[in-house]
Structure 1
């Protein structure tokens, strides 16, 4: 297991400063980013660049999201300590770890078996205990619903109804929507009551595609 050193902490502090400059003001999010050792979530060949504000490739042709994107989505969720959050796309585990550091109860689902096995072991080694599931993110985790918030960390061509159904009233779904290979729009969808939702758009991003059992 690679180590987390004072040098790494210094680089995290610099990253937090960059995120503040880019407009992230949520102190809980910034504090969490300042604690999670991102260099342990990337391949060792990328370690020296781990605290740059950019995405990197990981296993199974996926990516670890840009720290700004992780912070931006975490902020949009509007959650605090003790809230239940469903993450669609565990990926490297970095987003889940940030939410865990915020005191959130994390439930996360991953479609890629290679990635799921690796990330589950890594999170355990680092002391994070989210509830992890191998399966189709389009279906969510109805067993544990309803959730205070749901975050999707891959591009979806549309908003899955199953995820909307698993939101609490007042809960938020943060999801990048758009076709693969194009820029996606970040939606924050709030459940107003049993049958109605409000939608807001929060800029353009680029994500890897969200996979289902059909792919």
Structure 2
């Protein structure tokens, strides 16, 4: 009987300990956060790959008149990096200080790789940042798993230069801001065309044969 009581006591102690043990949580920034202002962190990314704090932080994930680009964040639902905006481009909340400053930094830290229609490895990109032209729908079955996310080449802003289509077939994309990867300046537009539209009205292009 003594042994049975001893076992019951041990079992009860273990059960109570399991109930009282706190659930592990990942926090970013300093101070307490309300439920409405909680930071969402991807389970598979680093601590900088989270949504920005919006409430009382003068931060928007959409362009606002007179607000400036203040950085980029990883949008877990769309598996891609998106820009954010603040007055004068400055963060006032500590929770947002660790977010990537540039698109390239965000893609390096948080980006999701994917397979483009030509078989090359690309990166999942929000379709407001990268649009695809002349792509074959049958060869591009949404590798990023979302209708508004495209699989595009991973390029740097500095590798994009002004571009004018030598064939004159601009398809309504003849703006002076059009850009293309410097290695493709002498190429025709027979292949898939990736049009980049970066914040602050910057427009960029890169073509893949």
TM-score of the superposed pair, with normalisation by structure 2: 0.28
TM-score of the superposed pair, with normalisation by structure 1: 0.28
| Larger gyration radius, structure 1 or structure 2 | 2
